[in-house]
Amino acid sequence: MPEISVKTENLVRNFGSFVAVNQVNIEVYQKEIFGFLGANGAGKTTMIRMLCGLLKPSSGKATVGGLDVYRQSEQIKRSIGYMSQKFSLYEDLTVEENINFYGGIYDLNQKRIQKKRDEIFFSLGMGDYARTLTYDLPLGFKQRLALGCALLHDPRILFLDEPTSGVDPKARRDFWEIIHQTVALGTTIFVTTHFMEEAEYCHRVFIMDAGKIIALDTPTKLKNRYKKKSMQEVFVTLVEKQQEKKTNPMPDSNDKMS
């Protein structure tokens, strides 16, 4: 049995009367690239924020690296890496300053930070940018730096929320190269994307619609099951089927906007 790295049982999150995440059960294995797909508003970010200890679930259970999201959220925050959908580094700091700053947050000593900084410069190809203001980096490199900072403390589990949105095709491939290298070192990766060809690079994918799981399997098995050539087709078919199912999806769309 592979080691389980993330596990949820009937996980729910409500915002008022709206159910953003609805009874979700998943198991993610160590060293797995777990892709997370869904239309806008499906609940991906909400789910990730709960697993990162940033948002309390309304009900259900979840453990991350064996830690409980209700009782051990502080430990979770320190032991995982998280790259949020909204760019969260300081744009008015240089690349080097951002690394030092985040190293400080994770309580790393100077020697460790130095070592990590060299690693980021070297393996992420950022050496030329050490003294560049983060604001001035091309988006692909901003995302690499964000990834580098999320990996500073060698987390066992890494959550990436749309790391490649808006990134050009070449930079996106470079980014996925780094993801593969990171997994090879033993990290679990939980990643959301709207690029369906990136779904093909995941070991397993999980498709969510309106807070619920509608599919979970390897890309190959999903393509075979729905007799489609690509994940793009699988995704469009599955999600559109859901939209049709909803009997009256736009109850008041004919109302005049007063």
Partner 1 sequence: MKVIEITDYCKRYDGVAAVEGVTLKVEYGELFGLIGPDGAGKTTLLRAICTLLTPDEGKILVMGKDVTQSIMDIRSLVGYMPQRFSLYQDLSVEQNLRFFADLFGVTEGKRERRLLQLFEFSRLAPFKKRKAGELSGGMKQKLSLSCALIHTPEILVLDEPTYGVDPISRQEFWEILRSIQKEKTTILVSTAYMDEADLCDRVALMHQGKITMVGTPEKIKASFHYHLYRLEGKDVRFLRDFFQKLPSVRSTQLFGDTVHVSFCKKPALSDWKNWQRDSRGNLKRWASQPPSMEDVFMESTEKER
Ligand X SMILES: Nc1ncnc2c1ncn2[C@@H]1O[C@H](COP(=O)(O)OP(=O)(O)OP(=O)(O)O)[C@@H](O)[C@H]1O
Is residue 16 classed exposed, middle or buried when 0-12, 13-18 and 19+ CB atoms within 10 A define those classes?
A: exposed
* Smallest separation, CB 193 to partner 1 (Å): 10
Would you tell me the crossing angle of helices 110-123 and 95-105 to the nearest 10 degrees?
A: 140
* Smallest separation, CB 107 to partner 1 (Å): 30
**In sequence order, which residues have a C-beta less than 8 Å from that of residue 119 and are 6 or more positions away?**
148
Residue 166 makes contact with partner 1 by CB under 8 A: yes
∠ Cα 148 150 155 (to 5°): 110
Select the residue interacting with partner 1 from 107, 227, 244, 252 (CB under 8 A). 252
Q: In what order do the strands lie in the sheet with 4-15?
A: 18-29, 4-15, 59-64, 67-68
Judged by CB under 5 A, the chain residues 6 through 45 that form the site for Mg ion are: 44-45
- Using the minimum distance from each CB to ligand X, give the nearer residue, 174 or 209: 209
x/- mask, ligand X, residues 44-83, rule CB under 6 A, reads xxx-------------------------------------
Sign of the alpha-carbon dihedral angle for 148, 102, 43, 186: positive
x/- mask, ligand X, residues 6-25, rule CB under 6 A, reads ---------x--x-x-----
* Smallest separation, CB 130 to Mg ion (Å): 31
Total interface residues for partner 1 by CB under 8 A: 48
Q: Enumerate the β-bridge partners of residue 159.
A: 82, 190
Residue 217 makes contact with partner 1 by CB under 8 A: no
CA-to-CA dists, residue 193 to 58, 74, 113, angstroms:
25, 27, 30
* Smallest separation, CB 2 to partner 1 (Å): 20
Q: Is 194 left (phi over 0), alpha (psi -120 to 50) or beta?
A: alpha
* Smallest separation, CB 43 to ligand X (Å): 4
Select the residue interacting with partner 1 from 129, 159, 176, 206 (CB under 8 A). 176
Residue 119 makes contact with partner 1 by CB under 8 A: no
* Smallest separation, CB 147 to partner 1 (Å): 15
Amino acid at 76: I
Q: Is 15 left (phi over 0), alpha (psi -120 to 50) or beta?
A: beta
Residue 182 makes contact with ligand X by CB under 6 A: no
For the chain, the residue count is 258
Is residue 212 classed exposed, middle or buried when 0-12, 13-18 and 19+ CB atoms within 10 A define those classes?
A: middle
x/- mask, Mg ion, residues 74-103, rule CB under 5 A, reads -----------x------------------
Binding site for ligand X (CB under 6 A): 15, 18, 20, 38, 40-46, 85
Binding site for partner 1 (CB under 8 A): 15, 38-41, 44-45, 85-86, 138-141, 162, 165-171, 173, 176, 180, 194, 196-197, 199-201, 219-220, 230-232, 235-236, 239-240, 243, 249-254, 256-257
